[in-house]
A and B are shown apart, each in its own frame.
Chain A
């Protein structure tokens, strides 16, 4: 497909965006209920995977960039 053939339906995208936002809020609610019905140890284990991986990724990027700068 060529770029000139791409059709963008903004109305459709807007609906998708709204639906996506609703689903996100549903998840927030679901997760909050999960926290209330499961032990701190259980939910935090799952949350920690997300947080630790984000921080490790960020640290990795910084180290990689500083390594590249040193090798210049």
Chain B
């Protein structure tokens, strides 16, 4: 994998797995109606972490009902179903409040779709990284925020217990892979903002 920090671009020549194909199938549809950014666990997996997941977290900006209905119909045409409801109007209303999930055929894996709500979401979206997978593209959250946020998500507790937390492991994976390229000041900034500065030592 090659990460070009200036271009905010990662070139990966990895072979695609079923999870990647699922993510690409969904994003191929959603990108017609909204720009998106992928956050959380799948980011680490896409970048090589040796673990699986049940869902892929995806953020989009606020969307108009008319566009949401078009997206809904397009997803339905491609075999995607919403776990929360089969009514698009209800799904739209839910999306204003919380995440909704889409699956295809079976509930695992599924996409957790959320509207951008807070500044961290907004920063992820506005500073997203393009991951080039051959002819395909996925957009992911900036690595510095991703690492700090993973440290934040990790359960509180003594260091010995923290070490086996999957979020700490995700953060450590990303840090080890990209430690030469990531912006240390940004990582420190987000770690301070999220009050996880003390957990940074777990990355080393």
B116 within 8 A of A: no
Chain B residues closer than 8 Å to A43, beta-carbon distance: 14, 48
CB of B177 within 8 A of CB of A25, answer no
Bound: A20/B202 CA distance, A: 15
Of A18, A22, A28, chain B has the most CB atoms within 10 Å of the CB of A28
Bound-state Cα–Cα, A52 to B106, Å: 14
The residue that B176 contacts in the complex, of A29, A39, A52, A55, with Cβ under 8 A, is A29
The reply to whether A31 and B173 form a contact with Cβ atoms under 8 Å apart is yes
Is A28 a contact partner of B48 (Cβ separation < 8 A)? Answer: no
Residue of A nearest to B109 (CB): A55
Question: How far is the CB of B200 from the nearest CB of chain A, in Å?
Answer: 14
Q: Are B48's CB and A35's CB within 8 A? A: yes
Residues of A within 8 A of B15 (CB): 40-41, 44-45, 48
The answer to whether A20 touches B164 (Cβ under 8 A) is yes
Contact B109–A24 (Cβ < 8 Å): no
Q: Secondary structure of the A side of the interface?
A: helix
Most buried by B among A18, A47, A50: A47
Question: Within 8 Å of chain A (Cβ to Cβ): is B13?
Answer: yes
Evaluate contact between B17 and A33: CB separation under 8 angstroms.
no
Q: In the bound complex, what is the Cα–Cα distance between A17 and B164 (angstroms)?
A: 9
Query: Knowing A40-B14, A43-B48, A47-B17 touch, does A25 contact B172 (C-beta < 8 A)?
Result: yes
Taking the closest CB of chain A, its distance from the CB of B125, in whole angstroms, is 26
Assess whether B108 is in contact with A51, with CB atoms less than 8 Å apart: no
| Nearest-CB residue, chain B, relative to A30 | B176
C-beta contact mask, B91-122 vs A, less than 8 Å → 1, else 0?
Answer: 00000000000000111110000000000000
Contact B14 A44 (CB under 8 A): yes
